């Protein structure tokens, strides 16, 4: 099984970047740079998916995860 997660990015008025994975509720991170925000949100998304797998809330056959930055 393959899972592609979309990352939405926005530059805030104060210069920080915010990255969000809309498919995973609450997966939202700030970064000083675009790359930092992307790295942080990817790490958080993977933690959320790992928790779901640990608690049998996601299919066990999940083998491939990819991210698409918008």
Using an 8 Å Cβ cutoff, are 38 and 69 in contact? yes
> pLDDT digits over 34-64, tens only?
999 999 999 999 999 999 888 887 776 766 8
Q: What are the tokens at 70?
A: 């918008």
Residue 10 above 90 pLDDT?
Answer: yes
Q: Taking residues 10-21, what's their average pLDDT?
A: 98
Q: Please provide the CATH number assigned to the domain covering 2-69.
A: 3.30.160.250
Using an 8 Å Cβ cutoff, are 5 and 70 in contact? no
What is the percentage of the chain residues whose pLDDT exceeds 90?
66
Residue closest to 45 by CA, chosen among 29, 30, 62: 29
Question: Scanning the structure block, which residue is given the tokens 């790295």?
Answer: 39
Supply the pTM of this predicted model: 0.86
């Amino acid at each position: 099984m393959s899972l592609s997660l979309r990352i939405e990015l926005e530059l805030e008025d104060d210069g920080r970047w915010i990255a969000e994975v809309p498919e995973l509720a609450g997966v939202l991170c700030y970064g000083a740079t675009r790359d930092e925000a992307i790295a942080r949100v990817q790490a958080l998304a993977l933690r959320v998916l790992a928790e779901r797998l640990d608690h049998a809330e996601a299919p066990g056959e999940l083998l491939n995860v990819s991210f698409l930055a918008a």
